[in-house]
Structure 1
Amino acid sequence: MTAMLPPLETIPQEGRIPCWRRFESDWYRLRYPDVAELMAQHGYDDVQRFYEEIGCHRGHSPNRYFDEMWYRQAYPEVRRGLLERRWPSGFAHYCAGGYKQCSPHWLFDEAAYRRRYVALTGHYLAEQGFYNGYDHYLSYGEQHGFKAGPFCDVRLLRAMARRYEAWFGPEGLLASWLVLPSHIADAAPASWYFDAPWYLQTYPEVQEAIAAGEYSNALHHYLTNPTPEAFNPSPWFDEAYYRETSPDILPSLGGDGLRNGYEHFVRFGAHEGRSPAKGVDLHRYKQCPLVWFDCDGGVFESPFARFVAEKHGHATPAGIDDPAVLEDQTRQLFRDDAALALPLLARQKLDFRVWGMPEVSVIMVVHDQIDLTLQALASLRGNYDGAIELILVDSGSCDETTGLETLVEGAIILRHKVNIGYLLGCNEALAHVTAPAVLYLNNDVRLYPDALHHALRRLYRAETTGAVAARLVRTNMQLQEAGSIIWRDGATYGYRRQDDPNIPEASFTRDVDYGSAAFLLVKAGLLRRLGGYDTRYWPAYFEDTDLCVRLQKIGARIVYEPLAMVEHLEFGSSGQSGSHSLIQRHWKVFAQQHLEFLRHQQPRHIRNALLGRERRRPDRQRVLLIEDRIPLRGLGSGYVRSNDIVRALVALDYHVTVFPVMREQLPAFLLYRDFPEEVELAFDHDMSTLPAFLEERAGYYDLLWVGRTHNMARLLPVLNEASRFLPHCGSVLDTEVVAAPRTLLQQAVTGLLPDGTPAAPVKGEEYERALDALLTEELQSAHYCQQIIAVTEHDAELIRRAGYGNVMVLGHSMEVAPTPRPYAERRDILFLGAFHSEQSPNYDSMTWFVEEVLPHLKALPEDVCLHIAGYVHPSVDMTALGQHPRVEIIGPVEDLTALFDTYRVFVAPTRFAGGLPFKVQEAAARGLPMVVTDLLREEVGWQTEESLLSVPADEPMAFAVAVERLYNDEALWQRLRHSALKAVQKDTDPEHFRQALQHIVQASLG
């Protein structure tokens, strides 16, 4: 009886067969040259029939897209099925349903592809007519730039196709590459993660194995050989070195885990910045702006891929090993840019006409250099479209500056036949000012976007602010100053001069001693009160320093605004000739004039820059907040609450530094929008740098706030050792959740501990003993802190049970903002939560809901789907959830208002958890009624049938019935919505949250 090609389990599009399902006769004959002889021996004249009846049993593959022998090795259950004769081949297993979750080939990882593109859920693929991710990639993804995996780079395959055009056919890049002879496949890279020529040269035995027909090419050997740890894939990765320097990965290698260290590196380490080989500082490399730009823009998969491409001459050198670009070259480039733009700017007048009251008066003193002046003015006009009163002082120019009226319209131009100098020019211009704010602006600057807007906003944000200083960047893209320091001897220092302008220390606002007048925004009334610049500093230098000191003497603050960023051609308007002697003379004048002010300043030493960078108000205290990560709101899982704590501390006028235990992987520019501008984010640090960080900042902090108990346990040895750097520093342990009960509940529900090891549930007295033991272990480091924080009174009682009486409660802060869409216009079911691991409560709850609850939702239309939104850690495999036809995975969502405004029902089917369920309160605050488990109802303290619906966590049928009730009953929906809004408003009042936090801080400081 003929065994036909195995049938497909489902057919998304009638009559359509995916290419991985087809039998390729020509390819089959070439791949198995002995087939002709075997067919003759067995009397076959049809090659496909031969495969179906004999070839498939011999381990033959039916086409280039499926590797039968690799498939059998990769999936033990397939091997068992073949032995038990449940399938004639691995391909039969794949067609019978394996295609939904298994990978068909060593070059394509189905799960990784679906992880990368979380929107490719089973529901979406079926709707679009694709069988699985592999079908999607082969028939659509490759053409549209989707990435098949780390070892298959579409850009490199395209380059190879141009080089070997005759070998690449219409089937597609991957399809053509799979049938290339080895001498071509190994001649050019298909991925920056594998160096075939080096591999063959390093391991000559591989070439012999390829020649013997055991492997198709070098990459085939590397990905399928039986001793994966014995080979390195390129000169830039050393398997033994990586294992030695990353011992934390060893438990995950071998067996059913990762194939070798390189698999871990490709999936995680290459993105984390781990060193792949001796002498390769990938962490440092990934900090380079060019590297961030290329990786964030999708040009390269990871910093490592870019590093290798750079070594092969396919990426612009990042420059980390090169000498700093000479500043005289960048200065000349700045001037050349100005000269290049001059003919363009001269074609049409720059318009500075003002109708009505000007918002800001800009004073610019110029002497020749018309190209620089017009460049600065064009930058100013393009930067701010408000009413600018432009006052130009032509201080004895001899070039085209004398004809400024023909180039600029609406400016007040004050002319002098001789060079009167910067100071006198500014003072003369002050008499013409009519705006409430004055901007002193050099003509050798270019403004970054919205610099003046941000400076004006900062100036008026507080009544006590007198002036705003900018973040000045030199032409070589290094800092000139991030606010400036005045030392005790009167000398000055631009804070973090010569550093990267985007370092954390330069990226938060604070009060400073002074700011350079290359860009200095001052309230006009204060300037008139002081009479402008002191003429003792004519013609220039120290006049702006003196002005800022005099402003402070009358009670005005000088505030550094990092968002006001300005590129400055240092000494461009004055030149350097004679500057040094003038600076020295005016330094002495300044030091003598302000003796009383200076004696309270820091002594001149670079190590005092940290204390000198900020004018500390006597009543303002500093908090160092340590968390797992920079607490972005999109991460969920307690990070939202930590973010709220940071915001509330700033609102209470504390200076806050946020320090992550794990180094942040996101680009820094994506972090700041989640925090007030006064917060310092130490995103370039982690636990390994904490000792040096504390030593550098010895005596700086008044309060240490450690988020999460496991961090306190990890940090305790460091804190004990560094205690001398934290004198008089109070400390707080914010538990976020007491995990002991959750661990026991997880054990009872799943039969597993949080690390995935099996464990039997405990009850009665055994439970109480186990609970006490877990509490003691969990809180053993809490003795270090003056105060311990619990998120609920229930958790506080558990902490007291462990012997700690210094416990206070701090819940959540939330603004009630119900979404407006009416019941009838909403549809579908929403879950919003973070997935940080596959052992997390959220992952368990969604698995339970999809597997146990969804099948019972029969009273809802078949097109009603569950949509899963929220952060997903790269290590979490969501494909098992996404394969269900009624599940859509959305991933992280920026606009929560639009999200909550779309859905009709929120579900929180949590079976084990602890603390306070933020997701429940958040859904209530957005006006979305919900069905939850009894566990969450008890934690939040609300009543079922009043503010929500709840059912036991072990009754999936009851949960489904509750979802159907809420989905179909508008009256119930409205009643729960209104009641939950009242309950959450009472429980999460932001003002109550701030007051509780203030009480905690004051108690900790003593």
Structure 2
Amino acid sequence: MSFDIFDERYYLATNPDVANAVQAGFFSSGLQHFQLFGITEGRVSVSPLYNEGLYLQANPDVANAVATGSLRSGLQHYILYGETESRFGLLGLYNEQAYLQRYPDVANAVQSGIFSSGFQHLVQFGFEEGRFAALFNEQYYLQKYPDVANAVQTGIFSSGAQHFLQFGLTEGRSGGTLFNEGFYLRRYPDVANAVAAGIFSSGLAHFAQSGQTENRSGTAFNEQVYLALYSDVANAVKARIFSSGLDHYLQFGQFEDFRSPLFSGSKGNDIIAASSSDFGLNDDFVNSVMGVQVSRITATVESLQNLALGSFGVGEVDTLVGGDAADEFYLGFGGQFYGTPTAFYVGAGSTDFALIKNFDLNEDFIVLAGSEDQYTRQVVDGNLTISNTAGDLIGVVEGVVSLSIIGPSVLPGTFLLG
């Protein structure tokens, strides 16, 4: 039995009758009340890190036991058995297996009996040590939100993470991680539907519980393509050397000039930023940037030819931001496996297009589908506009007044503008 999940201040704040009883001297603490009475009374408001509804949804056997009266609550199960069984808690954001994989020192400490679980370590030390950094950055959060920092300083919250889980996530605050809630829900409609149905509390909750292991990405970085292009990384992820392709990219890939990641968007309006690491080895390193959705990759490939697109930019206004390495901005697609070359952002006139920022004339280029005679280029307010011959705006290159045809790209049916 473990009471690691119990938060004294939270319990007293959410159970005012208990707080009054403690103040009157009937109990020495909220924990004493909970251990003697609260747990059998079915009280479940013990911590912002626990959500009864989510726990029962994630564990149908526990839900059945509660329904038949074998258990008073899912929380009772979590305290008696769930934590040691690595059941999910922490408002759906904590994953025991992932935590132990990410931190081998904690896994060793659990194995040697120093901690009963990775969660016990997280509660006692992990938050202060920044171990929740895979989904949350404490220092960033407190710096970004002074109101939260003040609340932590005055003791209203024990940490920024407590505020984030209790309020910040639903308030749309950023946890300082490479995760974008709105982007994730747009990219994965099945997750958005599950959140709307109450199966998950948020896209972040889904990502923590299962999305990352499904090779989903909460950022413009396209996890599936990266793993398909680089089998050595995929093998390293399978061997648990890295938690994901993004994990590898952040640690090593962005500094290896032969890696070329894809940053892709969703079916809605996106801001897609390419890698901005200034490593000085960009002879072969190329960022591929697409504002449209890449829904899946159908096979392991040597290039970006074998992609399935989930959108074509119709009705979207995407902002594509170049990085320090060479960038290729896709305003159309083709290829041996894709079929007919198709221009993006065609169908809504001048209301859908890609705005390209930070374009480097020395090394960046634009990929267009079809042939040169299908497009017109014009300077408007100091920016180069690219439209098809029917006058449908496709792209705007900010701060650029002239680009020339470079020639065919590696994708059949497309050419380069740079």
Pick the TM interval, shorter chain: 0.3 to 0.5
TM-score normalized by structure 2? 0.45
Which one has the bigger helix percentage?
1
Q: Which has the higher contact order (CA 8 A, sep 6+)?
A: 2
TM-score normalized by structure 1? 0.22
State which structure, 1 or 2, has the greater radius of gyration over its C-alpha atoms. 1
